[in-house]
Structure 1
Amino acid sequence: MSLNIVFVTETYPPEVNGVAMTVGRLVQGLRAAGHHVMVVRPRQSGESPEKAGYELVRSLPIPGYPGLRFGLPAGGLLRRLWRQQPPDVVHVVTEGPLGWSAVNAARALKIPVTSGFHTNFDRYSVHYGLGFLRPAVAAYLRTLHRRTRATMVPTEALAADLAGEGIQGVRVVGRGVDTQLYRPEQRCEALRQRWLQGGRGPVCLYVGRLAPEKNLALVEASFAALAAVQPDARMVWVGDGPARSALAARHPTHLFTGQQVGEDLARHYASADLFLFPSLTETYGNVVAEAMASGLPVVAYRSAAAAALIVNGENGVVVAPGDEAAYVRAVLDLMAAPQSGPRLGMAARERMLSHSWSRVVQDFLAVLDEAISGQNSACARSEVMAAGPRSAL
């Protein structure tokens, strides 16, 4: 049966981040399967105000995130649209004012509504000098998810965390990876030679937002320790963000490529020798899966995607969250054994071959079907729980 599905999200391709990529893949897969999908989101820079398949809403820029915007409340608009053509289900991707107004509108019209938990915004606040707001931000996020019939998360660990905080209807819907795009055969010797400039390597790679919440100081420390024993080592940073200028000033010999996408990004992954991922604020971390699919060994904390995908010493290396000394030591030990990297990379590639987006779309649809059929009663809780945040919108 074909479904009429509405996605409500603040971020969407061509914006470059894990949430945008995930939503884009889901929408693409659902449409390919014959479902009608409408995406409600902020209008992007230079975009026509009218676009088939999209409802573009008013928005404001997000401080510290150039190019990204948060949607303003659109409850009146959504109620009018959904009275005229009621969707079978509404899926709220992001928890901003737009998401809140969508939850309110859907509940008022008795439309099943689900949500996705993609970003630990409460943890981010600590890295921007707003740690005092963390309890309030956490309460705000959890309250929204308690008002939906199901909350979809990418890992079992996150599902257990949210369930432990009293959020019912938590369902695990994993993330896929494009193993045809991200593959070892994308390795480019010409690119490596540009990086190495006559040296022998190894090449360490970081891919992601260059921002305080990503724990980039540990990348710096790990590479410094490696360069002390292997002077030809090179550090390549792929991405952009508020920390880029300071990083470049501190490390004039490091390479900063800016954002890379598609085939170019795939070549960067496959052409490196080690992927450094030290973040502790992720709910998943798509870049870990992309690196593994590319045959690149990963060193990460045992958290989020790394905890779900990596078996320590078999297809990558994970250490206890927060143990920085162990993280640096793992980098040094791995690079001291040249045969280990290729072995781990091959096993990582094998691990990712079963993580297709088609399977993720099927799992997503199963949760939607459950929400539509009313098997989960989380949506029927007292409105009193949401009185505070709702009144603010």
Structure 2
Amino acid sequence: MNVTSLHIALVSETFPPEVNGVANTLGRLCQGLRERGHRLQLVRPRQADDTAPNDDQLLLTRGWPLPGYAGLQWGQSSLHKLLRRWQRNRPDVLYIATEGPLGLSALRAARRLGIPVVSGFHTNFQQYSDHYGFGLLTRLLTGYLRWFHNRSRLTLVPSPSQRLELQRRGFERLELLARGVDGQLFHPARRSAALRAEWGLCEDEIAVLHVGRLAAEKNLQLLTRAFRQLQRDLPQQRLRLVLVGDGPLRAQLQAELPEALFCGVQRGEALAAHYASGDLFLFPSLSETFGNVVLEALASGLAVVAFDQAAAAQHIRHGHNGALATPGDEVAFIESARWLLEDPESLRRVRLNARQHAGKQGWPAIVERFESLLHAARDTQA
């Protein structure tokens, strides 16, 4: 089917090569839209060592470091710069991925110029405030996010559970845009005996893996408690905890888990090899809008233990291709991990089913859905 080419402006305060779920998703969406013949104009803060010039496809703004998030920035409010740019080079539709100062100025500029706006709800900032000791801000943040997104023609959310939660909080015009996974990159065939040897593991020993930011909102204290409990309950098994990623809790976790392996940030094929070389994937986070790492772990053939929400609720059938616990039920979370480790045949079967399911969750269908939603927003009367 031939689809009219769009001129799309995309505004985000994070973008590859920065490593986080929002940046990874936007990189995939932009790549897919370009491959489908659309013209993109990216607006983002200038990154460290960024030498890219401003042109019709890229507008760089100043940014300020985001406290507690090394390498990430708030984009500077750029209302007048955006007005000048879009008066001269008007996009058909605007996608705003982040709600910071840059995103807010883009929303204001678009509304002033009558440009249709689609927004994406990528991060539960209102939940993060609790983890960083700013619980009083939760209501204010929720109100701001609702105000922000309700001024767009559509707000895209990554999971049905997220859509229900936001509807309950008064968010309007919500549409589902799921996430995909690169099933060629994240594949069990990338399992590396050499890497496992570096971890000090033989093939019949168990690598318990976690991939993600080492930060308070990821509920990593449960990861620590779960691993310690598994060690106590299964003394006959050799378990090695492997953490991929970095963040403000790294030093604390290293002190609590001196025998664990901390591999830092990994990218591309190295990241894929780390996934595939694991056996069991523990994902205790309760703050995700989606959780791309769940799909990456499933595609890599790992048995995933997670809470029944976001990506896990969408892609895991308990006992078939992973294990789910009721959100917040830490006992059930640990028991699910224990069940898989105590039953090697179930572990093997779950891992095979994980790959079979996730291998079908490619990005092309997601990009096509994104494209259709952008067209719908452009064609809808304000």
Q: Does 1:50 align with 2:53?
A: yes
Q: Secondary structure at the match of 2:263?
A: strand
Partner amino acid for 2:184?
A: Q
For the 8 Å contact 1:206–1:236, the answer to whether it is kept is: yes
Q: Secondary structure at the match of 2:344?
A: coil
Partner amino acid for 1:29?
A: G
Q: Secondary structure at the match of 2:199?
A: helix
1:166: Cα distance to partner?
2.5
Distance 1:245 1:164 in 2: 38
Distance 2:293 2:65 in 1: 25
- Which of these residues, 193, 198, 219, is aligned with residue 189 of structure 1? 193
Percent identity over paired residues: 48
For the 8 Å contact 2:196–2:202, the answer to whether it is kept is: no
Q: Does 1:320 align with 2:337?
A: no
Q: Deviations over 1:28-79 (max 9, x none)?
A: 1101111100110000001126155211001100001111111011110111
Matched residue, 1:40:
43
Distance 1:313 1:59 in 2: 46
Distance 1:128 1:160 in 2: 25
Q: Deviations over 1:240-259 (max 9, x none)?
A: 00000111112111000000
Unaligned runs of 5+ in 1: 378-393
For the 8 Å contact 1:200–1:233, the answer to whether it is kept is: no
1:200: Cα distance to partner?
4.8
Distance 2:54 2:298 in 1: 36
Partner amino acid for 1:303?
A: Q
Matched residue, 1:366:
372
Matched residue, 2:142:
138
**TM-score normalised over the length of structure 2:** 0.96
1:339: Cα distance to partner?
1.3
- Which of these residues, 23, 27, 31, is aligned with residue 28 of structure 1? 31
**TM-score normalised over the length of structure 1:** 0.94
Q: Secondary structure at the match of 1:252?
A: coil
1:196: Cα distance to partner?
2.5
For the 8 Å contact 1:292–1:352, the answer to whether it is kept is: yes
For the 8 Å contact 1:239–1:259, the answer to whether it is kept is: yes
Matched residue, 1:382:
none
Partner amino acid for 2:345?
A: Q
Q: Counterparts of 1:242-261 in structure 2 under 5 Å?
A: 242-261=248-267
Q: Counterparts of 1:303-314 in structure 2 under 5 Å?
A: 303-314=309-320
Distance 1:345 1:197 in 2: 19
- Which of these residues, 100, 117, 120, is aligned with residue 116 of structure 1? 120
Q: Deviation above 3 Å: which 4+ runs of structure 1?
A: 197-200
1:198: Cα distance to partner?
5.8
Q: Does 1:294 align with 2:297?
A: no
Unaligned runs of 5+ in 2: none
For the 8 Å contact 2:66–2:74, the answer to whether it is kept is: yes
Matched residue, 1:208:
212
Q: Counterparts of 1:97-246 in structure 2 under 5 Å?
A: 97-197=101-201, 200-228=204-232, 229-230=234-235, 232-246=238-252
Partner amino acid for 1:163?
A: Q
For the 8 Å contact 1:196–1:232, the answer to whether it is kept is: no
Out of 164-173 and 90-99, give the one that drifted further. 164-173
For the 8 Å contact 1:127–1:213, the answer to whether it is kept is: yes
- Which of these residues, 266, 274, 282, is aligned with residue 268 of structure 1? 274
The alignment's C-alpha RMSD in Å is 1.2
Partner amino acid for 2:99?
A: E
For the 8 Å contact 2:193–2:203, the answer to whether it is kept is: no
1:353: Cα distance to partner?
2.2
Partner amino acid for 1:35?
A: H
For the 8 Å contact 1:199–1:232, the answer to whether it is kept is: no
Q: Deviations over 1:134-159 (max 9, x none)?
A: 10011111110000000001111211
Out of 246-255 and 292-301, give the one that drifted further. 246-255
Partner amino acid for 2:375?
A: D
Matched residue, 1:11:
14
Distance 2:67 2:359 in 1: 38
Q: Deviations over 1:162-191 (max 9, x none)?
A: 223222211001101000000110111111
Distance 2:219 2:54 in 1: 38
Q: Secondary structure at the match of 1:196?
A: coil
1:345: Cα distance to partner?
1.1
